[in-house]
Chain A
Amino acid sequence: MNKFGFSTHASRVIDYETIDTKLISYIVENEPSFASCISCGSCTATCSAANLTYFNIRRLNVQIRLGEFEEIQQEIDKCMLCGKCMLVCPRGINTRNVIMLIKRGLTTLEIKK
């Protein structure tokens, strides 16, 4: 049989039926202010890690909501816990605590990575 070399891509569509919400629930429970993020990006603007690498704390919020744990895992250690992001957040979110909770959540919660 001839092989035409057709293949398909994995879907990029976000499917809310399959999203794992364990990590977001865990973070919001322990740091309720996190729910008030408005994706303004000033945390990322001030972050040294973001200026030098692909690390983006603003995007982490979205990735946590969508359960993209693999990417979070790859990126999270680039944070130096300096706390500059906390100083600029207009919603007063304790972003450093959020990072700590992500780290703890990734090791203690049963989530598929």
Chain B
Amino acid sequence: MIDVIIIGGGIAGLETACTLHTQGIESLILEKEKEIGGKLTQWDSLFPSNRNAKELVETYKDEIQKHTITVYVNTKVIAIKKQNDGTFEIFTSREIVFKAKTIVIASGYSIFNAERKEEYGYAIYPNVITSADLEHMFATKKELKAPSGRTLERVAFIHCVGSRDEKVGNHYCSRLCCVTGVKQAIKIRQMLPETHVFNFYMDLRMYGLGFEEMYREAQEKHGVQFIRGRVSEIAQTNEGRLQLKAEDTLAARPVRMQVDMVVLLVGMEAPECNSILGKSCNIQYNAAQFIVPQDIHYSSGITSAEGVFVSGTSIAPLSVFDTINHARSTALAVSNFLMPIQNE
């Protein structure tokens, strides 16, 4: 019987495992992919400090190794069953059934599928990409060009793609796409000083530590232009440029603009497994399928099912900063829960 099984080896799961270890509690991590690190393995540099994402993942890998925490990769959790004695059986893509006293759900988030916003032409026009694609391009390409090979005279970022949108059923704000748009706009201006960059936004939500400063820097130092208005549609011209339509709501006039590449700032959604795990163990989740903590202020790492905890972006879109802090507090909640059991 293992004390704690952690579902998901993103930074949330990894941090929870490391903090538990320092508390003297051993855990086992189950990760569905072939390596740990979650989304961060795909990102280039992280706001607000510009630090290298791979470097942070490596730091965690070292810690996991140092503490000899066991990780099963290629292991997808498909159901949890609570036993009569309060312990859990965990069913995965492997044949063995895992048994644990407690469970931490750290299954993270999924990226909004931009094809659902057909009017923006993702997967129809080659030069319409997502912020996740651009992050990957930054991380792997030396020279920045549109996917079709065009040089970039003008780039447009579109905010709120898949968030705050009744049409796709996501009412909530993904919270991080605004600052991701600012981070990436700055990066393009630094790599290609001749390129004009425009961000089309509905509201700019710079809620986090250092975000507002980045926004101001984007305006003042990097000349990124922010246009308040939601793009209604994108079409490709005969010359292979992209024509977009919006309203400049501060000028109260429609805008037409041709650009060489469009970056869709895609939102964060709950992964499908949240509702599957939720149902199999009677855990409360909201309409957007994020897991609802028992008390959002006081016990944000505890779920409605006794012995099941939650860590990181399984509860909502969170930055790395917020994810790590949440993961640590969840670890403390788990150790508080296990302490009386261990003292028995």
Contacts and interface: CB of A to CB of B under 8 A. Distances in A.
B92 interface: no
Contacts of A13: 253-256
Contacts of B223: 28, 35
A16 interface: yes
Tell me the dominant secondary structure on chain B's binding face. strand
Contact of B219 (A15, A36, A62): A36
B1 interface: no
B258 interface: yes
Interface in A49-74: 59, 62-63, 65-66
B220 A62 contact: no
A14 interface: yes
A54 to B, nearest CB: 14
B254 A12 contact: yes
Interface in A65-110: 65-66, 91
Interface in A26-42: 28, 32-33, 35-37, 39
Size category of the binding interface on chain B? 10 to 19
A14 B251 contact: yes
B258 A17 contact: yes
B329 interface: no
Contact of A16 (B219, B250, B257): B257
A62 B257 CA distance: 16
3 A-B pairs with the lowest CB-CB distances in the bound complex, closest first: A14-B255, A16-B257, A36-B219
Interface of B: 216, 219-220, 223, 225, 228, 248, 250-251, 253-258
Given A14-B255, A62-B250, 8 more contacts: A12-B253, A12-B254, A14-B256, A16-B255, A16-B258, A35-B219, A63-B251, A66-B248
